[in-house]
Structure formats: C-alpha cells, structure tokens
Amino acid sequence: MKLIYAAVFEECEEGGYSVSFPDLPGCFTEGDDLTEALEMAQEAACGWLVGEIDRGADLPEVTPYENLPVVKDGFVNMLLLDLDAYRQKQGSRSVKKTLTIPEWLNTRATEEGINFSQVLQEALKERLNIA
C-alpha cells in the first residue's frame, strides 16, 4: 500500500531539521541534515501509519496541498510512503502459523523434500503481488 502525506520541515537553530506531519498527530522526527531528515520522515510516518492500521484505526484524511501551513524557516514536502516496503524492512521476525492440509498432500510433499514455510511464503507473496 502506497500513501502520500505532507511533512513540514523546519530548520533548527542548532542545525538540521525538525519534521512534523499535519495529518499524523503526535508524529515527529528530526535529522542532522536534509537527507537524514527526509529518511527519518519516511520512517516515522510509515511507522505511525502501520501502527494505526495494526490497531484497526481509520487512516487520517490527507490535507489538500493548498490547505497546508506556510512555513517561515522551512518547507512542506509531500512524501510517498510505501507501507509494504516498510513492513518488509521492519518485520523480518518470523511468525509461527498453524495450518491444515490433506494427509495425502502432506505425504507427497514430505517425500519430495518440500519446505512448507518457503512454499507458503512464495505463494503469499505471489497472491499479494509482492516482489
């Protein structure tokens, strides 16, 4: 899932940038330079959104660009947030799943030395169109 949300980048007196998100309450980050601030902004926003999705909350509406705040010592930038890529990067921990298959299929697959976990992962990625 890809989403676009605005990030407000403000220059800090001590250098670097602080980043806030008008549509993501309580989501803040910072970076020592613009590159780091952009990277941290994507991480923070993706983490915030994934947290909302995982707890079953509705995602906030995106403020139209023309309604975003004007920033004196900084700028507003729209971020393309790839939540699937974020989950893949952050969620490498394995989760045990229990499933049921016919006995004859289990016997054949075991005789062939098939790795059930690998096959399930490949099938899920294909079904979800994940590269």
Give the residue from 38, 25, 40 showing the smallest Cα distance to 74.
38
- 101-125 pLDDT tens trace: 899 998 998 888 888 888 888 898 8
Q: Is the pLDDT of residue 38 over 90?
A: yes
> What percentage of the chain reaches a pLDDT higher than 70?
96
Q: Which amino acid is at 125?
A: K
Q: What sign does the CA torsion over 77, 88, 126, 131 have?
A: positive
Q: How many CB atoms lie within 10 A of CB 112?
A: 7
**Spatial distance between the Cα atoms of 90 and 48, rounded to a whole number of angstroms:** 13
**Spatial distance between the Cα atoms of 95 and 115, rounded to a whole number of angstroms:** 16
Q: Which CATH number fits domain 2-90: 3.40.50.720, 3.30.160.250, 3.60.40.10, 3.30.565.10?
A: 3.30.160.250
Q: Is the pLDDT of residue 19 over 90?
A: yes
- Going from N- to C-terminal start, the domains of the chain cover 2-90, 94-131
